[in-house]
Amino acid sequence: MHNLESRNIATGFAFLHDEAGFAIGETPIAYSPSDTYGRAIAVGLLNTLRVSVIAIVVATLLGTLVGVARLSQNWLLARLAGFYVEVVRNTPLLLHLFFWYAVITQNMPHPRQAYDLLPGVFVSNRGITLPRLEGAGMDGLLGGLALAIVLLIVAQLCRRHSAICRLITRPTNALIVLLALPALGWWMTGAPIEWDVPRLAGFNFRGGLTLSPEFAALLGGLILYTTAFIAEVVRSGIQAVSRGQWEAAASLGLPRRLVLRLVVLPQALRVIVPPMASQYLNITKNSSLAVAIGYPDLVSVVNTTLNQTGQAIEGILIIMAAYLTVSLSISLLMNWYNRRIVLVER
Amino acid sequence: MPRSTLTEAGSAPEAVWLRLKKRLFSSPLNTLLTVLIAWLLLMVVPPTVEWLLLDADFRSSSAQGCADSSGACWAFIAEKHRLILFGLYPYDEQWRPLLASCILLGLIVLSAVRRFWRPSLALGWLVGLLLVGVLMWGGAFGLSHVENTRWGGLPLTLILATFGIAFAFPLGVLLALGRRSRMPLIKAVCVLYIELIRGVPLISLLFMSSVMLPLFLPEGFSIDKLLRAQIAIILFAAAYIAETVRGGLQSIPRGQYEGADSLGLSYWQQMRKIVLPQALAVVIGPLVSIFISLFKDTSLVVVIGIFDLTQSAKAALADPQWQGFGAEAYLFIGLIYFFFCFSISRYSLAVEKRLQGAHGSTHYLS
């Protein structure tokens, strides 16, 4: 404890109420340097969650595709997927992040000569600029969608006990709910939805949605990296289903697509879900590499905080608490899902 | 599954065509996929090859010369390879880290060959590591002393990874045994340790080691920064190794424990002679992937300013004379990382296959 005293460091979390005094590049909630450390850390946490959630969703979709592609009958496709997985899995994530960050900031042109990938999508050394849907109608639409998802989750939870819940969770009805509620929300606000297409104004783009180079490199790197791991999880899950199951299903006259969907995937899912959960945890933890390319995630903000205040122990405790909370939430969610799909033996 | 068709056809042109047809054009969907991928490859591969090789500049002596060519600037790597590979180690002494890396690599390769799996290998490691230490530090046999703050590049990455695995593995095995222990205190401590460490990212541990650890040490006592990072890596990897080994331990049937008990073996004898050899053999695959991620994770020491391979590549990029060759530098060290990780993973596949053969089990690998 002597070193603590000699550096004049007081313990405790009182510093969270002090003025932070440093700026943060990307702020999902309003933040200025005159706000408190507590708020700065909240901004960091939201940044971490934002990048993790998007990466989890996209990497799951892509990873499943690549995993299935590796087992494809098409030799070219299988080889291509295998090549991708091997290259990515055997190089450090940090290198991917540095590489993409360097490519975006050094090898991409200025906004004036930006690559126009698709209409309205521009890639320049200021990041990636996308068109964005805007207007009050959009709020209604998103509100309706959120409501629909909550409703479906609740219905899923109570389906054992109530006939109404069972009715809602039927696939067709669920689809209707998912489409109708957002439409209703849009209709109730009565406002139209517009595309906000980015335009070049001066030296940069105006309007649209801009992903900063840091965010784009982190998100892209995380997705590309984790896709390879998820692909392996999916592939080994599918291969864990014995050949007999494939052959039996094929001898019933099912085409390969249906064999995969009706017979193999439901069984493979049991093998896939636990390692998939740990991949999701890895994405969240790996997003902390953001600090190396300057994206203000939780670790990066807390690090700045502890450099300024010297509250190292508290800072580390905050990081641990935040990650443990996220980890435990993901574990709980995945365990719950796992219990639902696991084989019930009699 | 593609493998099953491998042996069917011979090499006659007709057979080759048949095989091709089966693999690429067996159905309309398959044909469409093939055409799409071929188109994609045609769009991507030629420009990539042009950038990588045809238009690349291998010889220019300045960034200006490189700017004239539209391809990659490998001249940058040629100019900076010593800095990237050996970091800030004194230029004239760089044969020492080179030799040290060769010794480490030689030891690793020797350990992979089954013929050398005997007690003298341990002696070889001891002598080898001692030699590596003497070469890197110097201060003896007429070698000048080099502070470890000046170590860097590939040797440092290899050292971090080798020592990391060497210490994390036994610690991880002990933690796994502890987690399955019947003594509640030991079990609780191990569970807490494993879950806490696995819950946080390695970066936060590294920050902790660089910021927090010094605050808690007694007065006048300090641990070297490199050593602290090494300890953080070991503590981190041990938790993951523990969980994997626990999986192996759980797969050992009760009968094995009871059999060992009835032989009158003590706990440690049981573990060492009966349980662990079987448990570890089951989890070789996952264990090796942990070793590979440990090797990749050594790159994270960048965030606390230790000069490993990645950091020295960044240092090479910081030269104002040579600006904007990030892609080339990262591809170069990416290739180095890939070479090591890919070799390890191929080796582990071979070992797994041989072990499966040895146990006489009939596994269907697709």
CATH number, domain of A257, equals 1.10.3720.10
- Select, from the ranges A104-108, A189-193, B75-79, B197-201, the one with the highest average predicted confidence (pLDDT): B197-201
Task: Report yes or no: A11 and A313 within 8 Å, Cβ to Cβ.
Answer: yes
Task: Provide the chain A residues 97-126 that lie in CB contact (below 8 A) with chain B.
Answer: 98-99, 101-103, 106-107
Residue A22 forms part of a structural domain: no
**Are the beta carbons of A3 and B216 separated by less than 8 Å?**
yes
Residue A18 forms part of a structural domain: no
Number of Cβ within 10 Å of residue B173's Cβ equals 22
Question: Using a CB-CB distance cutoff of 8 angstroms, which residues of chain A are in contact with residue B364?
Answer: 242-243
Lowest mean pLDDT among A73-82, A260-269, A295-304: A260-269
**And the tokens for A274?**
């636990």
Q: Provide the residue type at B347 as one letter.
A: Y
Residues of chain B with pLDDT under 70: 1-11, 218-222, 357-366
Of B308, B296, B287, B14, give the one whose Cα is nearest residue B151: B308
Residue A86 forms part of a structural domain: yes
User: How far is C-alpha A76 from the chain's CA centre?
Assistant: 30
Range of the domain at A278: 45-113+211-341
**And the tokens for B330?**
């990262």
Residue A123 forms part of a structural domain: no
| pLDDT band, very low/low/confident/very high, at A343 (cuts 50, 70, 90) | low
ipTM for the complex shown: 0.83
- A194-204 average pLDDT score: 69
Question: Using a CB-CB distance cutoff of 8 angstroms, which residues of chain B are in contact with residue A76?
Answer: 24, 33-34, 37-38
User: A164 pLDDT exceeds 70?
Assistant: yes
**And the tokens for B88?**
């800030």
B82 vs A6, higher pLDDT: B82
Strands A209-211 and A127-130 turn out to be antiparallel
Residue A266 forms part of a structural domain: yes
DSSP string spanning A263-285? IIHHHHHHHHHHHHHHHHHHHHH
Task: Provide the chain A residues 220-249 that lie in CB contact (below 8 A) with chain B.
Answer: 239, 242-243
Task: Provide the chain A residues 271-330 that lie in CB contact (below 8 A) with chain B.
Answer: 285-286, 288-289, 291-292, 299, 303, 306, 312-313, 316, 319-320, 323-324, 327-328
User: How far is C-alpha A7 from the chain's CA centre?
Assistant: 40
Query: How far is it, in rounded angstroms, from Cα B238 to Cα A203?
Result: 51
Residue A75 forms part of a structural domain: yes
- A·B CB contacts under 8 A: 146
Query: How far is it, in rounded angstroms, from Cα B281 to Cα B351?
Result: 10
- A2-18 average pLDDT score: 67
The structural domain count of chain A equals 1
Secondary structure of residue A211 in the 3-state scheme: strand
Please name the residue that has the structure tokens 């502070």: B147
| Amino acid B168: pLDDT | 93
Of A282, A276, A278, give the one whose Cα is nearest residue A238: A276
CATH 1.10.3720.10 fits B157-213+220-356, yes or no: yes
**Are the beta carbons of A76 and B217 separated by less than 8 Å?**
no
For A27-51, the pLDDT digits (tens) are 777 788 888 888 888 899 999 998 9
Residue A29 forms part of a structural domain: no
The whole-chain average pLDDT of chain A stands at 82
Question: Using a CB-CB distance cutoff of 8 angstroms, which residues of chain B are in contact with residue A319?
Answer: 200-201, 204
**Are the beta carbons of A73 and B208 separated by less than 8 Å?**
no
Residue A26 forms part of a structural domain: no
| Amino acid B234: pLDDT | 94
What pTM value is reported for the model?
0.83
